[in-house]
């Protein structure tokens, strides 16, 4: 079950477009290796141990423990019979492998009954933190030849929904109480789900997630502040005041230096921006020359961004990047603020410096290339993205950006053929298979597209875009039942991708027009106010939603809403355009409580 977390909750934000609209927000995640292992291509590993396909939450929990040792998780993937992860601490990069105890090299730094941990270069504090966490988590391994395969048309990538009473039904959000009962419910998982529900304006679901968060972590300042921030954004004034007062009350338990920083972040959420910025100015001045401390203040930038104080976020991120040139969080938050403010030209010198200083950090280089794209230098951006892919960087934000550039210009036969040749030359190259499948979709070759996407699906089992494209292929080919099954898989993965909802609306419009209306509302909520959204599509969806509301009682709502030709045109334009930049959102959620 190879998979990569774009660090959405292991790293949270990048939307794009399929039934999309800005940059392909769902380009797949994938292992960093340039060539997939036998297990990554779906072939068994005779006699070898591989992780059971239901272990993503357990692995997330183990890897998140690196934060306790002061390490930031950059990327993670499951490749064949091992988990690979990259961490950073200050300017140091550390690579980790988790393997079955019987398969570990003799140089394993730590071993537990369920896992061997190898760290290069050695970082025993990180290894010990991961080992300690692994002993509280049940990590299940199976023989490679016995590992379950992805089913063609039944079940769910996280388990068969028909056989698991805790899987959400079609059209339903996942119940926080269900996740809380699955040990463990990590804060990253809870906040990722809460953010998604907030984006889709399912506020009752957000409140349930916040109760789950405080039940588990309510003694921590960061948890109360998170709850306060969410309640403020929903307009729950009484709950907001209760939570932010609780966050302030817990400050006394912290060491002085940490207390001053956390107090400044609390002030941001409370709305005392003048006091917060003055406190942060003093902290930055006191931390001159201490790059790690300065970089740690990027959490305050994320708070400002989430409260739409973009100008202050831009200024603070710029100062942090200048004072701590190796701080990836400063570059990522600066890029987000610059994009919102349309100040890409002003941010470009710092982002270029970041890409040159951290050339192997694909997230930082991707943000630099995205900035070039925003300034009209698309060919240069494509060259940077293609170079990263060729060097083995396959994180979703990168692939999404490249796919977005491809689909924002005309998808030519030559481009589709170039990726198809790469995929045909190497059956194990699932990234080439993904691009070939997507580009063939845009060319209207739905059967051919499906063949390549099915190859990619063997590896990209938790990436919603694979299921969205497959679903829309089957929809265009007239297989409504299979299209519905596949789009429901994408929905159940729970990623905040607006195109999941728009595409499901197109698929279910006749059988469940009320769900289609709610999904179009979710799409518009997720794309509202974003500068990287394809505005013509947004306007078309809004107009179609109004027509559908008037057609709910019609015998065939889709015919009432528009002609088949108009529907086909909207679908193609949506898919080729992309939707929003989600890659960044996950990033914000994962690290804010530790920054």
pLDDT reported for residue 279: 96
Compute the distance between CA of residue 192 and CA of residue 151 in angstroms, rounded to an integer: 27
Which phi and psi (to 5°) does residue 79 adopt? Answer: -125, 110
Each residue of 365-400: pLDDT tens digit?
999 999 999 999 999 999 999 998 888 777 777 888
Cα-based distances in Å from 534 to 369, 407, 419, 442: 19, 12, 25, 17
Residue recorded with tokens 């701080």: 327
Angle at 241 between CA 237 and CA 245, to 5 degrees: 170
Compute the distance between CA of residue 489 and CA of residue 358 in angstroms, rounded to an integer: 36
Name residue 478's beta-bridge partners: none
Above 70 in pLDDT, residue 42? no
Binning pLDDT at 50, 70 and 90, where does residue 585 land?
very low
pLDDT reported for residue 61: 79
For residue 144, give the DSSP letter: G
Classify residue 69 as left (phi > 0), alpha (psi -120 to 50) or beta: alpha
Each residue of 73-121: pLDDT tens digit?
877 777 667 888 888 887 678 889 888 887 655 556 788 878 888 887 7
Q: Which residue has the higher pLDDT, 44 or 575?
A: 575
Compute the distance between CA of residue 461 and CA of residue 528 in angstroms, rounded to an integer: 29
Which helix (H) or strand (E) segment holds residue 503: the answer is helix 498-508
Dihedral (CA of 125, 105, 79, 99) sign: negative
Each residue of 126-185: pLDDT tens digit?
988 898 888 777 677 765 444 433 333 333 333 333 333 234 444 455 554 454 444 345
Q: What percent of the chain has pLDDT over 70?
A: 74
Structure tokens at 117: 């941990």
Q: Which of 30-34, 281-285, 543-547, 585-589 has the highest mean pLDDT?
A: 281-285
Of residues 550, 551, 494, 501, the one with CA closest to residue 522: 501
Strand order in the sheet with 116-120: 4-5, 72-79, 82-89, 92-99, 116-120, 110-111
pLDDT reported for residue 78: 72
Above 70 in pLDDT, residue 17? no
Binning pLDDT at 50, 70 and 90, where does residue 192 land?
confident
> Residues 33-58: what's their mean pLDDT?
46
Which phi and psi (to 5°) does residue 162 adopt? Answer: -70, -25
Q: Are 12 and 588 in contact (CB under 8 A)?
A: yes
Task: Among 8-12, 374-378, 457-461, name the one with the lowest average pLDDT.
Answer: 8-12
Structure tokens at 494: 């729970």
Q: Are 130 and 365 in contact (CB under 8 A)?
A: no
Compute the distance between CA of residue 384 and CA of residue 405 in angstroms, rounded to an integer: 12
Above 60 in pLDDT, residue 221? yes
Q: Are 471 and 507 in contact (CB under 8 A)?
A: yes
Above 80 in pLDDT, residue 258? yes
pLDDT reported for residue 107: 55
**CATH top class, domain 176-410:** mainly alpha
Compute the distance between CA of residue 100 and CA of residue 116 in angstroms, rounded to an integer: 6
The domain segmentation of the chain, as residue ranges, is 47-141, 176-410
Mean predicted lDDT score pLDDT of the chain: 78
Dihedral (CA of 355, 60, 193, 512) sign: positive
Classify residue 587 as left (phi > 0), alpha (psi -120 to 50) or beta: alpha
Of residues 477, 404, 416, the one with CA closest to residue 442: 416
Structure tokens at 52: 């059971």
Task: Among 146-150, 455-459, 517-521, name the one with the lowest average pLDDT.
Answer: 146-150
Each residue of 259-318: pLDDT tens digit?
999 999 999 999 999 999 999 999 999 998 899 899 989 999 999 999 999 999 999 999
Q: Are 147 and 55 in contact (CB under 8 A)?
A: no
Of residues 101, 161, 14, 88, the one with CA closest to residue 484: 161
Report the length, in residues, of the chain. 595
Structure tokens at 86: 């990259």
Which runs of consecutive H residues, i.e. helices, occur in 358-494? 362-374, 378-390, 396-408, 413-425, 430-442, 446-457, 464-476, 480-492
Q: Which residue has the higher pLDDT, 539 or 322?
A: 322
**Bond before 463 cis per omega within 30 degrees:** no
pLDDT reported for residue 532: 61
Classify residue 171 as left (phi > 0), alpha (psi -120 to 50) or beta: left
Q: Is 85 helix (H, G, I), strand (E, B) or coil?
A: strand
Above 60 in pLDDT, residue 443? yes
Residue 182: which residues within 8 A CB-CB, separation 6 or more?
A: 57, 166
**Bond before 420 cis per omega within 30 degrees:** no
Compute the distance between CA of residue 394 and CA of residue 396 in angstroms, rounded to an integer: 6
Each residue of 410-433: pLDDT tens digit?
778 888 999 999 999 998 888 899
**CATH top class, domain 47-141:** alpha beta
Compute the distance between CA of residue 120 and CA of residue 138 in angstroms, rounded to an integer: 25
């Amino acid at each position: 079950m190879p998979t990569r977390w774009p660090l959405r909750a292991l790293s949270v934000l990048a939307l794009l477009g399929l039934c999309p609209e800005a940059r392909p927000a769902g380009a797949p995640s994938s292992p960093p290796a340039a060539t997939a292992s036998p297990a990554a291509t779906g072939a068994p590993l005779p006699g070898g141990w591989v992780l059971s396909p239901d272990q993503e939450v357990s692995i997330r929990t183990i890897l998140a423990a690196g934060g306790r040792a002061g390490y930031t998780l950059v990327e993670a993937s499951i490749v064949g019979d091992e988990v690979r992860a990259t961490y950073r601490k200050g300017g140091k990069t550390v690579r980790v492998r988790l393997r079955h105890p019987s398969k570990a090299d003799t140089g394993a730094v730590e071993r537990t009954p369920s896992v061997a941990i190898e760290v290069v270069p050695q970082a025993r504090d990180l290894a010990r933190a991961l080992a300690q966490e692994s002993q509280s988590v049940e990590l299940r391994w199976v023989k490679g030849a016995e590992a379950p395969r992805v089913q063609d048309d039944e079940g769910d990538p996280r388990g068969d929904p028909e056989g698991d009473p805790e899987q959400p039904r079609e059209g339903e959000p996942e119940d926080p109480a269900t996740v809380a009962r699955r040990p463990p419910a990590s804060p990253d998982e809870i906040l990722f789900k809460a953010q998604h529900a907030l984006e889709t304006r399912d506020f009752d679901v957000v409140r349930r997630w916040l109760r789950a968060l405080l039940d588990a972590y309510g003694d921590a300042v960061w948890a109360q502040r998170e709850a306060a921030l969410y309640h403020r954004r929903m307009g729950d004034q009484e709950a907001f005041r209760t939570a932010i007062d609780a966050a302030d009350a817990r400050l006394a338990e912290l060491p002085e230096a940490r207390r001053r920083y956390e107090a400044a972040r609390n002030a941001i959420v409370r709305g005392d921006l003048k006091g917060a910025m003055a406190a942060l100015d003093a902290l930055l001045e006191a931390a001159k020359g201490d790059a790690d401390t300065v970089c740690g203040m990027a959490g305050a930038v994320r708070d400002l961004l989430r409260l739409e104080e973009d100008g202050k976020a831009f200024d603070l991120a710029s100062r942090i990047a200048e004072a701590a040139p190796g701080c990836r969080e400063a570059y990522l938050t600066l890029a987000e603020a610059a994009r919102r403010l349309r100040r890409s030209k002003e941010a470009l010198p710092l982002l270029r410096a970041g890409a040159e200083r951290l050339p192997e950090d694909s997230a930082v280089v991707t943000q630099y290339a995205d900035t070039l794209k925003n300034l009209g230098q698309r060919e240069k951006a494509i060259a940077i993205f293609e170079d990263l892919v060729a060097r083995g960087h396959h994180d979703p934000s990168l692939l999404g950006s490249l796919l977005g550039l491809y689909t924002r210009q005309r998808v030519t036969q030559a481009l589709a053929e170039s990726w198809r040749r790469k995929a045909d030359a190497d059956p194990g190259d699932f990234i080439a298979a993904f691009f070939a499948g997507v580009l063939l979709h845009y060319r209207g070759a739905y059967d051919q597209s499906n063949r390549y996407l099915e190859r990619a699906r063997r590896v990209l089992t938790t990436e919603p875009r694979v299921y969205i494209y497959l679903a829309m292929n089957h929809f265009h080919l007239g297989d409504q039942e299979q299209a519905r099954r596949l789009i429901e898989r994408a929905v159940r993965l729970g990623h905040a991708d607006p195109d999941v909802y728009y595409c499901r609306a197109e698929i279910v419009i006749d059988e469940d027009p009320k769900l289609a209306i709610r999904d179009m509302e979710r799409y518009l909520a997720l794309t509202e106010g974003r500068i990287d959204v394809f505005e013509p599509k947004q306007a078309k969806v809004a107009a179609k939603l109004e027509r559908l509301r008037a057609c709910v009682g019609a015998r065939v709502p889709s015919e009432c809403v528009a002609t088949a030709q108009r529907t086909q045109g909207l679908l193609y334009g949506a898919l080729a355009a992309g939707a929003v930049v989600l890659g960044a959102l996950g990033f914000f959620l994962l690290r804010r409580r530790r920054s």
